[in-house]
Structure 1
Amino acid sequence: MNRAFSSLVKSLLVATLAISGAASAAAPAAAPAKADPAKGATLYDSGDAARGLPACVSCHGAAGNSTIAVNPKLSAQMSAYTYKQLVDFTTPARQNPIMTPYSKMLTDDDKKNVAVYLALQVPKQGAAKNKDTLELGRRIYRGGIAANGVAACASCHGANGNGMPALFPRLAGQHQDYTFGQLQAFKGGARKNSAQMTTIARRMSDEEMKAVADYIAGLK
C-alpha cells in the first residue's frame, strides 16, 4: 500500500513538473522596449549636460537637415541604418574623431531613440550644382559602370535615392561633399563597415565619385 501511494505521488509530481515546463516554454518573452522619438528629440536638440553629451543639432542641423556640407543630412534616414552607424562608430569598422567618442557615450536606448526621431523628420530638398557632370552622374547612378564592374547605385538605393528599409540607406538630397568623402573613405579603407561599398568605391575614379555625388544631391 505504501509503495503504491509513493508511486502515485511520484507520478503526480512528474506530471506537474512537465505541465509547468510546457507552460513556461509557451509563455512569450517580454517585448523589448520601443524606441521613444520624444526622448530622441530631446537628446538631439538639447543633448544631456549631466553626461557631457552635446546636442546633435549643432552639427546636423534642425530636424536633421544639416547645413554643413561635410556633415550628413540625417532627416528621414531609416532608423535601422542610423542606429547601425551609431553602433559602428564604437567599433574599428568606422572610426571618426567626433562621432566615435560621442557614440560611446550614448546608451543603446539613446541610439535607438535618436534614430527613430530622425526617421520621422521631413527632409529639405538638395540640388545638383555641376551641370557639366550631371549626365555622367545620372548614368552611374542608374546604370553603373559596366566596364569596371560597378553596379548601378539605384539597384540598392532606389531610383529616387530613398533606399531600402533595413538594408540600404536613403541618399536623396545628401550633401555632395559628404557623399564624396564617404566614397573616398571606403576606397582608402578609413571606413570598413561595408565590404560592398569598399569594392564599388575602389573601382571608381574621383571624377566619377564627384559626378554621382552631385547627382544624388538633386534626388528627391
Structure 2
Amino acid sequence: MNRLCKSLMVLEIAVAAGLSVVAAQASAADPAKPDVNRGQAIATQVCASCHGADGNSTGGAYPKLAGQHPEYLVKELKDFKPQPGGKPPARNNPIMAGIAGALSDQDMVNVAAYFAAQAPKPGFAHNKATVPLGQQIYRGGIADKGVPACAACHGPTGQGIPSQYPRLSGQWSDYVVAQLTAFQQGPGARNNNDAMHAIASKLTDSEMKAVADYVAGLH
C-alpha cells in the first residue's frame, strides 16, 4: 500500500510539473495584454508628428488612426515589414517600413490599443456634386462592373469589422483615394488585399474620388 501511495504521489507530481510546463509555453506563445500607457509613449514619441498624438492627423497625407480596430492596425504595421521567405513588404512605404521595423510585436499591440481607444474626430464631404455617386457606390456598388457595395464589408456607417475591415468613417478623402490607387497598382504599391485590388481596378478616378469624399463625411 505504501509503495502504491508513493507511486501515485510521484505520478501526481510529474503530471503537475508537465502541466506547468505546458501552461508556461502557452503563456509565452500568447501575446501579452496591451499596455496602453506604453502605447501612448510610442505614439507621442514616434507617431504624433504624422498621425497626431491622439490619432487624429491634421491632413489627408496621413490617415486618422483614432478609433481604428487594433487588430487591423497591428496587421498593417506588420505588412510594412519584409515578409517571410525574403519577400518584400506587402505595403511599400519607406517611412513606415523604418518605423515598423523598429517596433516589436508587443510594441505594435500596445500602440494599436492606444490609438483604438482614442475618439476619432468627424470628417466632412466637400464636393456636394459627387455625393450621390459616392453614396451609390458605397451603399449599392456598381452592378455592371461587378463592384460590390463598400458597406458590405465596411458597414453602413463605415465602422468596419474588427481585424478584417478597417473603419472608414470620417477618414480623409485624399488618403482614401491614395490607397485605392495603391490597390490598383498592386505589387510595388499595396499588395496586401486581393479583393481590394480587384475592386479598385474596376473604378475610374472620378468614382474613387466620389466614394472617398462620401466616406469622409460618413458617420
Taking structure 2 as the reference length, the TM-score comes to: 0.86
Aligned residue runs from structure 1 range 1-220, under 5 A: 16=10, 20-21=14-15, 24-25=18-19, 28=23, 29-30=26-27, 32-45=31-44, 47=45, 55-91=46-82, 92-189=89-186, 190-220=189-219
What is the distance in 2 between the residues matched to 1:159 and 1:118?
Answer: 22
What is the distance in 2 between the residues matched to 1:24 and 1:69?
Answer: 54
What is the distance in 1 between the residues matched to 2:33 and 2:56?
Answer: 25
What is the distance in 1 between the residues matched to 2:62 and 2:168?
Answer: 13
What is the distance in 2 between the residues matched to 1:41 and 1:120?
Answer: 10
Offset, 1:155: 0.3
Q: Structure 2: 5+ residue runs without aligned partners?
A: 83-88
Number of residue-to-residue matches in the alignment:
205
Q: Decide which structure has the larger Cα Rg and report it.
A: 1
Deviates more, 1:13-22 or 1:149-158: 13-22
Q: Structure 1: 5+ residue runs without aligned partners?
A: 1-7, 48-54
What is the distance in 1 between the residues matched to 2:143 and 2:16?
Answer: 57
Deviates more, 1:170-179 or 1:60-69: 60-69
Does the CA-based 8 Å contact 2:173-2:216 persist in structure 1? yes
The one-letter code matched in structure 1 to 2:66 is S
Does the CA-based 8 Å contact 2:60-2:173 persist in structure 1? yes
- Aligned to 2:137, the other structure's residue is in SS state helix
What is the distance in 1 between the residues matched to 2:212 and 2:147?
Answer: 15
Distance 1:24 1:181, change over 3 A: same
Deviations 1:109-145, CA, capped at 9 Å, x for gaps: 1111110000000010100000110000000000011
Deviations 1:37-77, CA, capped at 9 Å, x for gaps: 111101111x2xxxxxxx21100113000112110000000
The one-letter code matched in structure 2 to 1:73 is K
Quote the sequence identity (%).
Answer: 50
Deviations 1:69-108, CA, capped at 9 Å, x for gaps: 1100000000000111111001321120210111101111
What is the distance in 2 between the residues matched to 1:217 and 1:175?
Answer: 6
- Aligned to 2:81, the other structure's residue is in SS state coil
- Aligned to 2:100, the other structure's residue is in SS state helix
Offset, 1:32: 3.6
Offset, 1:21: 4.5
What is the distance in 2 between the residues matched to 1:84 and 1:108?
Answer: 10
What is the distance in 1 between the residues matched to 2:54 and 2:103?
Answer: 19
Does the CA-based 8 Å contact 2:31-2:106 persist in structure 1? no
Q: Which residue of 1 aligns with 2:85?
A: none
Distance 1:82 1:32, change over 3 A: closer
